[in-house]
């Protein structure tokens, strides 16, 4: 369900008649928060990073300003490129653009992998203004020269988090390489991840950030608490203990930031809750993920361990608890995580486990929500572990180690006589020519006909 707020009207955005007519036909009267916030930034031509989930109206968020400013043109090369991770999204985004372009004379095309490339080459050859594509197919079309990207003025990358999670980073970079340097970059991501952050820093020019930190659920419906826990294994012990209360913790979504952490936690919990446990992250096959979600949704499995990226868009009712096994570094992710509970008017519970290192992230979350999260004491029955996982062990930096050899003490190469066969001197070019003369090697430099003339007949 889209999330609406009735503060502004579309009239405030100064659109044009064709767009107003299209919006009228759709029955849309007020812009959604992301549309409100993104409009001026996209229209200004600046690079933009938008943090928004599907369902917030983000497609119109970038398309309204783009369509408002896209002049009619007879040229055939696309001027707007929208990259999305999956073919389903290509189809969906094309449909949305077409709805909005009902009274505009522009050409929109969607291309994606897994279908005949020749048909798509022919479609491209017809000429187009807006191209929606998956990265792999776009690149193939561009290198085959069926598609010219030199006129692209605006690049939109949607669902960047998913794209990077699916391993499209290299393809994205290859595409950046063949796009004109002078262009506007617009990017949307539902979750903020380290990979997304790196991509922004590497390729965007001081982008403006637009973020709608909606949790999907009114915060009043969620009771939030946190635990301070020293390390991973103690977090595991605490979680194992809490989950013993089956009645209270009857549908538990456990969030972690990385795939590796998801597997690690799964392994630990598996020893206690084997029959009730499932996991989703992007290294699992689509079938595996769908099965896990189904089992959790249907209540066959009580506990689902998930990464942020894979859990976006999860629509599951009656989640009793969202447990933040790690503290999200990006506060928006926390909002998305906890929005999975407390739905349908039912009170949900959210818990955060934080180590010392994660306290700063807590401050950021509290700042974003403008509220404090009460700390609970770790029950005395929970074992405080002193074992550390790899990432928690102190990095040993050597200082002043008297037994360590300094560079100047390092022995040079061992000295001994070279073997006779290695004693030949490098005689450089002249030696080469001497040998060539001796063995009558063909001379090709200078006189190209030397060989032909000197051929013995
Ligand atoms: P999106 O987040 O772009 O996938 O959009 C989610 C859904 O909201 C789509 O079906 C849109 O057609 C619809 N939508 C977009 N903007 C508005 C709006 N201002 N008012 C009502 N519905 C909208």
Q: What is the 3-state secondary structure (H, E, C) of 127-187?
A: CCCEEEECHHHHHHHHHCCCCCCCCCCEEEECCHHHHHHCCCHHHHHHHHHHCCCCCEEEE
How far apart (Å, rounded) are the C-alpha atoms in residues 97 and 67?
Answer: 9
b/e map 197-223, b = 16+ CB within 10 Å: eebbeebbeebbebbbbbbbbebebbe
Ligand 1 contacts CB of residue 2 (under 6 A) = yes
Specify the CATH number for 10-211; select among 3.60.20.40, 3.40.50.1220, 3.30.830.10, 3.40.50.300: 3.40.50.300
Q: For residue 424, what pLDDT is reported?
A: 57
Q: For residue 377, what pLDDT is reported?
A: 97
Closest Cα to residue 129, out of 159, 94, 158, 89?
Answer: 94
How far apart (Å, rounded) are the C-alpha atoms in residues 236 and 242?
Answer: 10
- Compute, in angstroms, the gap from residue 360 CA to the centroid of ligand 1: 35
Nearest protein Cα to ligand 1, atom 17: 57
For the ranges 21-25, 171-175, 287-291, the lowest mean pLDDT is seen at 287-291
- Compute, in angstroms, the gap from residue 99 CA to the centroid of ligand 1: 11
How far apart (Å, rounded) are the C-alpha atoms in residues 254 and 382?
Answer: 19
Question: Cβ distance 224 to 350 under 8 Å?
Answer: yes
Residue 10 CA, closest ligand 1 atom number: 19
Tokens of residue 109, six digits = 């095309």
Q: For residue 121, what pLDDT is reported?
A: 96
Ligand 1 contacts CB of residue 312 (under 6 A) = no
The CATH code of domain 222-381 reads 3.40.50.300
Question: Cβ distance 157 to 172 under 8 Å?
Answer: yes
- Indicate if the pLDDT at residue 450 is higher than 50: no
How far apart (Å, rounded) are the C-alpha atoms in residues 426 and 432?
Answer: 10
Ligand 1 contacts CB of residue 57 (under 6 A) = yes
Taking residues 350-378, what's their average pLDDT? 95
Could you identify the residue written with the tokens 């970038």?
Answer: 62
For the ranges 210-219, 349-358, 444-453, the lowest mean pLDDT is seen at 444-453
Taking residues 367-384, what's their average pLDDT? 94
Q: For residue 366, what pLDDT is reported?
A: 93
Band of residue 239 on the pLDDT scale cut at 50, 70, 90? very high
Q: For residue 309, what pLDDT is reported?
A: 82
- Compute, in angstroms, the gap from residue 60 CA to the centroid of ligand 1: 7
Taking residues 340-351, what's their average pLDDT? 82
Q: For residue 1, what pLDDT is reported?
A: 43
Ligand 1 contacts CB of residue 54 (under 6 A) = yes
Question: Cβ distance 160 to 199 under 8 Å?
Answer: yes
Output the pTM of the full model: 0.69
| Choice from 11, 59, 84, 91 to test ligand 1 binding pocket (greatest atom count within 8 A of CB) | 59
Nearest protein Cα to ligand 1, atom 14: 57
Ligand 1 contacts CB of residue 28 (under 6 A) = yes
At 150, phi and psi to the nearest 5? Answer: -65, -15
Nearest protein Cα to ligand 1, atom 22: 28
Burial-class residue 235 by CB neighbours within 10 Å (0-12, 13-18, 19+). Answer: buried
What contacts 50, CB < 8 A, 6 or more positions away?
34, 37, 38, 58, 61, 62, 186, 187, 188, 189, 209, 210, 211
Tokens of residue 302, six digits = 């009580």
Taking residues 434-451, what's their average pLDDT? 54
Q: For residue 128, what pLDDT is reported?
A: 96
Taking residues 39-54, what's their average pLDDT? 92
- Indicate if the pLDDT at residue 154 is higher than 60: yes
Closest Cα to residue 65, out of 31, 27, 103, 21?
Answer: 31
CATH 3.40.50.300: which residues of the chain?
Answer: 10-211, 222-381
Ligand 1 contacts CB of residue 50 (under 6 A) = no
Q: For residue 415, what pLDDT is reported?
A: 47
Share of the chain above pLDDT 90, in %: 61
How far apart (Å, rounded) are the C-alpha atoms in residues 239 and 236?
Answer: 5
């Amino acid at each position: 369900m889209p999330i609406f707020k009735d503060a502004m009207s579309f009239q405030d955005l100064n659109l044009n008649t064709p767009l107003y007519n299209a919006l009228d036909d759709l029955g849309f009267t007020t812009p959604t928060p992301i549309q409100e916030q993104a409009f001026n930034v996209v229209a200004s031509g600046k690079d933009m990073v938008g943090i928004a989930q599907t369902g917030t109206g983000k497609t119109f968020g970038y398309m309204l300003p783009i369509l408002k400013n896209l002049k009619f043109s007879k040229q055939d090369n696309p001027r707007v490129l929208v990259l999305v991770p999956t073919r389903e999204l290509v189809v969906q985004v094309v449909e949305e653009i077409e709805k909005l372009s009902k009274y505009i004379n522009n050409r929109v095309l969607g291309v994606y992998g897994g279908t005949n490339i020749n048909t798509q080459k022919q479609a491209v050859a017809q000429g187009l203004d807006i191209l929606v594509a998956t990265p792999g197919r776009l690149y193939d079309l561009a290198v085959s020269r069926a598609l010219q990207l030199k006129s692209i003025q605006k690049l939109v990358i949607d669902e960047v988090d998913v794209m990077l999670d699916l391993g499209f980073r290299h393809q994205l970079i290859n595409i950046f390489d063949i796009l004109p340097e002078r262009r506007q970059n617009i990017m949307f991501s539902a979750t903020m991840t380290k990979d997304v952050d790196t991509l922004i820093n590497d390729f965007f020019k001081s982008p403006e950030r637009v973020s709608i930190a909606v949790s999907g659920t009114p915060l009043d419906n969620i009771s939030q608490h946190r635990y301070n826990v020293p390390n991973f294994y103690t977090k595991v012990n605490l979680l194992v203990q809490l989950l013993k209360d089956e009645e209270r913790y009857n549908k538990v979504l456990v969030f972690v930031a990385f795939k590796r952490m998801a597997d690690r936690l799964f392994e630990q919990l598996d020893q206690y809750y084997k029959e009730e446990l499932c996991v989703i992250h992007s290294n699992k096959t689509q079938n595996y993920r769908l099965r896990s979600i189904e089992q959790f949704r249907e209540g066959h499995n009580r506990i689902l361990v998930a990464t942020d990226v894979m859990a976006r868009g999860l629509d599951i009712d009656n989640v009793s608890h969202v447990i933040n096994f790690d503290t999200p570094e990006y506060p928006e992710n926390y909002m998305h995580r906890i929005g999975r509970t407390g739905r349908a008017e039912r009170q949900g519970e959210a818990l955060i486990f934080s180590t010392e290192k994660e306290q700063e992230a807590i401050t950021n979350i509290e700042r974003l929500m403008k509220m404090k999260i009460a700390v609970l004491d770790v029950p005395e029955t929970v074992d405080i572990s002193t074992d550390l996982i790899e990432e928690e062990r102190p990095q040993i930096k050597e200082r002043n180690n008297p037994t360590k050899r300094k560079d100047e003490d390092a022995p040079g190469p061992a000295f001994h006589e070279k073997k006779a066969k290695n004693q030949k001197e490098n005689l450089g070019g002249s030696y080469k020519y001497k040998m060539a003369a001796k063995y009558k090697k063909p001379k090709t430099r200078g006189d190209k006909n030397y060989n032909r003339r000197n051929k013995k007949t």
